[in-house]
């Protein structure tokens, strides 16, 4: 799933390319993608795009006339600006926003599950849009006390809390794993139990991992989210390889749809977690 660095780079690139361009047409290719009926999708036609923004894992387009398009790519959604397509749309096509200059902003889905969503909202609808109103603060630049407030509460384990957008916005499984590794924090420690030293390490790790990833993303993503992720990660996706810091074999916990990768020597005091799919983990 695209996360904060990739989505921020995409939003910046699309904002530079789309601001001021007039919407000339709209086409919904799959009925499951558009989640709203009022205002109608067709209300965008004839209006110029004012700006493109990101909040958490959402991409937004502000359009003149008090209209807003909010897009959640989910796991398999891909957004790109390309020459206006002709002929029958590909099976992956979900929605097109045609723009002057024979360009189109196309949402595609690389999976048959069709989880990506598009909401067309007016000003009041945007202000009340729960996927936005429930988001926590953006993680880059948060201080120790901000992180303490975000991670406190219900006793969630750290790897879950980092990916909970209601606590901090925009972090997914890839960067959560790398942040915990960089901070030398155990993934299954209770998020609300981190002491001052652990929180200080988390602050430094989150800022370093996310800002470096953002700079790399800006170098390869402008107006198209690639089909394949090309992230540079320290532990995510590297199960079985040696830790870059200490050389210990990286271990993992396998969940239904992803693996959590960690270094036992750097993060868990040598403890190797059991496979999550086979047994109930007790911290």
Computed from CA positions of residues 80, 86, 90, 93, in that sequence, does the dihedral angle turn out positive or negative? Answer: positive
Residues 4-133, CATH architecture: Alpha-Beta Barrel (3.20)
Alpha-carbon span 40 to 202, nearest angstrom: 44
State the average pLDDT over residues 102-118.
91
pLDDT confidence tier of residue 127, bands split at 50, 70 and 90: very high
Question: What is the average pLDDT score of the chain?
Answer: 93
14 phi, psi to nearest 5 deg = -70, -35
Min mean pLDDT across 4-13, 92-101, 248-257 is at 248-257
Most distant CA atoms of the chain, gap in Å: 61
Per-residue pLDDT tens digits for 149-198: 999 988 899 999 999 999 999 999 999 999 999 999 999 999 999 999 99
Higher-confidence residue of 66 and 32: namely 66
Alpha-carbon span 162 to 214, nearest angstrom: 18
Which of 207, 264, 232, 181 shows the shortest CA–CA distance to 6? 232
In three-state secondary structure terms, 76 is: coil
- pLDDT score for 173: 93
- CATH 3.20.190.10 in the chain is located at 4-133
* pLDDT higher than threshold 60 for residue 4: yes
pTM given for the model: 0.93
* pLDDT higher than threshold 80 for residue 277: no
Which of 94, 107, 101 shows the shortest CA–CA distance to 19? 101
Which of 155, 167, 196, 198 shows the shortest CA–CA distance to 180? 198
Computed from CA positions of residues 237, 242, 244, 245, in that sequence, does the dihedral angle turn out positive or negative? Answer: positive
Alpha-carbon span 183 to 177, nearest angstrom: 10
- pLDDT score for 281: 44
- pLDDT score for 279: 47
Min mean pLDDT across 122-126, 141-145, 154-158 is at 154-158
Residue with tokens 């957008």, as numbered in its chain? 165
- pLDDT score for 256: 72
Residue 40 token pair = 């109608």
State the average pLDDT over residues 191-218.
97
- CATH 1.10.8.50 in the chain is located at 144-267
Alpha-carbon span 95 to 22, nearest angstrom: 17
Q: CA 30: distance to chain centroid?
A: 22
- Whether 72 and 107 have beta carbons less than 8 Å apart is answered as no
- Whether 132 and 58 have beta carbons less than 8 Å apart is answered as yes
Q: Under CATH, what is the fold of the domain 144-267? A: Helicase, Ruva Protein; domain 3 (1.10.8)
What 216-219 contacts at long range (C-beta under 8 Å, 24+ apart), as own/partner pairs, is 216/5, 217/5, 217/6, 217/8, 217/9, 218/9, 218/12
């Amino acid at each position: 799933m695209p996360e904060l660095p990739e989505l921020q780079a995409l939003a910046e690139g699309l904002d530079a390319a789309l601001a001021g361009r007039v919407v000339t047409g709209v086409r919904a290719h799959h009925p499951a993608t558009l989640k709203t009926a009022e205002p109608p999708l067709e209300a965008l036609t004839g209006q110029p795009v004012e700006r493109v923004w990101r909040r958490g894992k959402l991409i937004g387009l502000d359009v003149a006339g008090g209209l807003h398009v909010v897009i959640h790519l989910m796991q398999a959604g891909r957004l790109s600006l390309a020459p206006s397509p002709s002929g029958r749309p590909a099976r992956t096509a979900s929605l097109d926003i045609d723009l002057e200059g024979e360009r189109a902003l196309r949402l595609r889905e690389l999976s048959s599950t069709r989880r990506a969503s598009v909401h067309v909202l007016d000003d009041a609808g945007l202000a009340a849009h729960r996927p936005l109103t429930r988001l926590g603060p953006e993680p880059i630049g948060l201080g120790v006390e901000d992180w303490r407030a975000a991670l406190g509460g219900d006793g969630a384990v750290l790897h879950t809390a980092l990916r909970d957008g209601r606590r901090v916005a925009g972090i997914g499984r890839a960067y959560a794993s790398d942040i915990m590794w960089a901070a030398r924090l155990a993934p299954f420690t209770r998020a609300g139990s981190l002491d001052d030293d652990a929180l200080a390490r988390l602050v430094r790790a989150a800022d370093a991992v996310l800002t470096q990833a953002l700079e790399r993303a800006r170098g390869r993503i402008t107006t198209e989210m690639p089909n394949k992720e090309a992230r540079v990660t320290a532990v995510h996706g590297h199960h079985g390889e040696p830790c870059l810091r200490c050389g210990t074999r990286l271990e993992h916990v396998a969940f239904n749809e992803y693996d959590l990768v960690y270094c036992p020597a750097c993060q868990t005091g040598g403890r190797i977690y059991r496979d999550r799919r086979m047994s109930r983990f007790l911290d």
